[in-house]
Amino acid sequence: MVLVTAPLIGFSGEIIWPIGQILLPVKIGDAEHSTSTWMNFVVVRSPSLYNEIIGRPGVRKIQAVPSTAHRMLKFPVLGGILTLRKQTIAIGSTLIEEGWRALCGLLRRNLDIFALKLEDMTGFSRHIAEHRLNVREGCSLVRQKKRSQAPKRNKAIQEEVEKLVDAGLMKEVHYHS
């Protein structure tokens, strides 16, 4: 990991200081059609709905053509062109007033690419975008203590998870040790 000296500025103006930057191999696509490249990732210690965000350098690196009007990203793979359909799942709720105004403006300008509710997320195939843990054979798993939440927050978390499971966007997976 390489040291990063510049902060990241969030949508609501919050400042996040990166822990570092790391170059990692990335494979995008499914089992039959994919492309691979090395991409830089900025490592932060911050709660987020997203594990990673591919920026313009990454889009250029895989020679992708994004279309906000069609909510998709197309890029060349061996044997043809692969199409990923873009969909957003949730928006943070901790924005200050100025952040809300900026977010509302962004949403109004890009109504065609955001889903307002889970039912609006159609055409999503797990085979295109499915996250898996890349665990090396023979390595022992690291077990962490379950983090507890306040009862009210725990109930809200459980309700959101149930919505995602019911919509088929998330499923429980058991890893054997």
- 99 domain residue, yes or no: yes
Which pLDDT belongs to residue 122? 61
Residue 68 domain-assigned (yes or no): yes
In a domain, 37, yes or no: yes
Q: Residue 98: inside a domain, yes or no?
A: yes
Predicted pLDDT at 102: 83
Task: Note the pLDDT of residue 127.
Answer: 55
Residue 73 lies in a domain: yes
> Pairing relation of β-strands 15-16 and 72-77?
unpaired
> Would residue 36 count as lying in a domain?
yes
As for how many domains the chain has, the answer is 1
Given a contact cutoff of 8 angstroms between Cβ atoms, the answer to whether 19 and 1 are in contact is yes
**pLDDT score of 176:** 64
- Supply the pLDDT for residue 38: 87
Query: Which residue in the block uniquely carries the two structure tokens 């928006």?
Result: 91
**CA atoms of 144 and 70, how far apart (whole Å):** 42
Q: Is 140 helix (H, G, I), strand (E, B) or coil?
A: coil
Per DSSP bridges, beta strands 34-43 and 15-16 are unpaired
Query: Residue 23 domain-assigned?
Result: yes
Range of the structural domain that residue 107 is part of: 8-128
| Distance, CA of 87 to CA of 108 (rounded, Å) | 16
**What averages of pLDDT result for each successive group of 10 residues across the chain (177 residues)?**
82 79 81 81 70 72 81 83 67 70 79 66 58 70 82 89 81 70
- pLDDT of the residue at 10: 72
Residues 6+ apart with CB under 8 A from 148: 154
Query: Given this model, what pLDDT does residue 90 score?
Result: 45
Residue 92's pLDDT is what? 56
pLDDT at 130: 60
Domain membership of residue 161 (yes or no) is: no
| Predicted model pTM | 0.40
